[in-house]
Amino acid sequence: MTRKIYPFYFIAIALGIYIIFTVVPSLMGIYLSFTDWNSYSREVHFIGLDNFKTIFSSNENYMHGINNTVIFTISTIVLKTMIGLLLAILVNKGIRLKNFHRVILFLPAIIPMLVVGIIFKSIFNPEYGLINEVLRALGLNQWTQHWLTDVNWAFKSIIAVDVWKGAGYIMVILLAGIQAISHSYYEAADIDGAGAWKKFRFITVPLLMPALMVTTVLNLLYGLKIFDTVYVLTNGGPGYATDVVYTQVFSQFTLGSYGVGTALITVLFLIMTILGYFAIKLMSREEQNG
């Protein structure tokens, strides 16, 4: 079979738009991270690695934001994958009105983050919020918390809200993967006397790996760029307890310290590039093995 090679000009327009609106701004951003660009002066001077020294200095709070971003990313990848997989298995078969349940579970994914923030600020309210009211009704007053204003609970609450919003989306992808697995594998396992756990471990999980890799990469990229969930729930507070990289970038641009802000974005860009490279390489290996 011969492979037809299309002329280069077929992609010239798309490539030109990509270079103008993506590549050039990215390169400009990397260059500006090495400058003292700010809102107080029209002149921009090259200052070398000073912005990066500021970011990684122990006297500053930027490393805390990077650590929070990494913790958020890992936690949401694990929790969304586990809960999404469990939900996908439950709604795949064996329950009544499974299409209705699928819609209900996916619904949080399409609710705007601003609305989610308003709802959960009400639910987490320490005085009249739903969670504390339920705990008081059950006689568990000692378990009531200031969910969004307590340093020990604020970041965990943000992770919980994000998992609630995103687990349904992951469920849909994994459900499609489960339904693509041939029933003949399970029928053969039934003949061999395999139980539910062995079928899950030796059939479902291995054949679901491509879908799991896709959800992992999506969650990874989403987690590293997290901003809206933190901003609408705590805006980085109390203090700097829930700050992540993008809330810090937003703060720096608000203060007019554009050079430090672009340096933070450059650090995150490098982390995403490295992790994305290994993720794509791992996915390519899975496809070759498949």
- Identify the pLDDT of residue 287: 58
Q: Quick one: average pLDDT of 19-35?
A: 92
- Closest by CA to 246, choosing from 47, 66, 120, is 66
Q: Quick one: average pLDDT of 242-255?
A: 92
Predicted confidence band of residue 277 (pLDDT cuts 50, 70, 90): confident
Q: Quick one: average pLDDT of 216-230?
A: 90
- Identify the pLDDT of residue 52: 93
Say which CATH number the domain at 229 has: 1.10.3720.10
Residue 102 above 80 pLDDT? Answer: no
Does residue 228 fall inside a structural domain?
A: yes
Does residue 149 fall inside a structural domain?
A: yes
The 3-class SS string of 65-111 reads: HHHHHHHHHHHHHHHHHHHHHHHHHHHHCCCCCHHHHHHHHHHHHHC
- Identify the pLDDT of residue 251: 92
Does residue 12 fall inside a structural domain?
A: no
Does residue 198 fall inside a structural domain?
A: yes
Tally of domains in the chain: 1
Residue type, 133: E
User: What one-character-per-residue DSSP string does 16-83 give?
Assistant: HHHIIIIIHHHHHHHHHTTB---TT-S---B-TTHHHHHHT-TTSSHHHHHHHHHHHHHHHHHHHHHH
Determine contact, residues 179/92, Cβ cutoff 8 Å: yes
Does residue 20 fall inside a structural domain?
A: no
Report the share of the chain in percent with pLDDT over 90: 50
Write down the residue that tokens 């697995």 correspond to: 181
Predicted confidence band of residue 166 (pLDDT cuts 50, 70, 90): very high
- Identify the pLDDT of residue 245: 92
* Mean pLDDT of the residues in the chain: 88
More confident residue, 101 or 264: 264
Residue 206 above 70 pLDDT? Answer: yes
Residue 234 above 60 pLDDT? Answer: yes
Residue 1 above 60 pLDDT? Answer: no
Does residue 117 fall inside a structural domain?
A: yes
Does residue 44 fall inside a structural domain?
A: no
Predicted confidence band of residue 288 (pLDDT cuts 50, 70, 90): low
- Identify the pLDDT of residue 100: 80
Whole-number Å distance between alpha carbons of 159 and 39: 34
Tell me, rounded to whole angstroms, the distance of Cα 99 from its chain centroid.
26
Q: Which domain holds residue 281?
A: 62-288
Q: Quick one: average pLDDT of 26-45?
A: 90
Does residue 245 fall inside a structural domain?
A: yes
Predicted confidence band of residue 283 (pLDDT cuts 50, 70, 90): low
Residue 143 above 60 pLDDT? Answer: yes
Residue 2 above 60 pLDDT? Answer: no
Q: What is the pLDDT of residues 50-77, one digit of tens each?
A: 999 999 888 888 999 989 999 999 999 9
- Identify the pLDDT of residue 12: 87
Q: Quick one: average pLDDT of 258-271?
A: 90
Q: Which residues of 245-271 are buried (b: 16+ CB within 10 A; e: fewer)?
A: bbbbbbbbbeeebbbbbbbbbbbbbeb
Q: Quick one: average pLDDT of 88-93?
A: 85
